[in-house]
Amino acid sequence: MTELVSGQAAVDALVRLLDLQALGDDRFLGNSPPDGPQRVFGGQVAGQALVAAGRTVDPARHVHSLHGYFVRGGDPTEPITYAVENIRDGRSFSVRRSVAYQHGKVIFFMSASFHHEEEGLDHHEPAPIDVPPPDELPTMGERLARYPDRMDIWATIPRPIDVRYVGEPGWVAPGARPAEDCQRVWMRIDGKLPDDPLLHACALTFASDLTLLDAVLSTHGAVWGPGGFVGASLDHAMWFHRGFRADEWFLYDSTSPSASGARGLATGRMFTRAGLHIATAVQEGLLRRVGG
């Protein structure tokens, strides 16, 4: 069985992954983990693109939204170059376009908006009720022990994040996953992060791509991998509503309003343990039946 590497060592590796090399002229260089999947993990390239954009903005302005498109699969053996375009610096907002390149071609691009926080109206819908707390749920290692044949599916995914599924994960054995109208997962960075708000936003962006499309499969009781589906992220959007720490537990409450034409749409809300709504993510993904 493949050993899951987690804890502070994995978190420190994530921080290094997000610490891009400045090349000058608002260009940056990023790398991928040496033991990652065959394609660059979507959350990684989105997080790095946000790092690049944020490095060109006044630190007093924090990201409040991003919209990105995955254009090509990334090659984890090659560095990624990020080029940032300054779209606008206004009195309270800054807008950037961050484009990721490999082999001279675009693999991902993102628009991100940053805002100097102001006083205003404040409300949000309540968090789901009757959800077990994370410390009462199995760890990823404990869940995988029940499905040793599925270990390799998760083993290729970055693991600086403690993930506790409330229901069944998307990689359980075919026939063992009931159809559900939502996918709920507790998450946190599995160690301590520095206090930089941009780093926490990038870490949350990284985490947001891990389980979101599971909500599409949940609706049908379907699974990833053999006997189920393969997929890829097509686009990704996030809105950051309130301050948070990505190294503290948050509930990722995801649903799928629609799936058709081999594409599935999923939306996820993130809540702190105190019930504050900190962020929202929306993603469309390609889902094809294995062997189809």
Which tens digits make up the pLDDT trace of 23-67? 999 999 999 987 666 789 999 999 999 999 999 999 999 999 999
**Alpha carbon distance, N-terminus to C-terminus of the chain:** 29
Which tens digits make up the pLDDT trace of 94-147? 999 999 999 999 999 999 999 999 999 999 999 999 999 999 999 888 888 887
Active-site positions? 209, 233, 283
Q: What is the pTM of this model?
A: 0.93
Cα dihedral 41/10/244/269 (nearest 10) = 40
| CATH number of this structure's domain 8-116+133-289, picked from the four choices 2.40.160.210, 1.10.3720.10, 1.10.10.60, 3.40.50.620 | 2.40.160.210
Domain edges within the chain: 8-116+133-289
The backbone torsions φ and ψ at residue 204, rounded to the nearest 5 degrees and listed phi first, read -65, -40
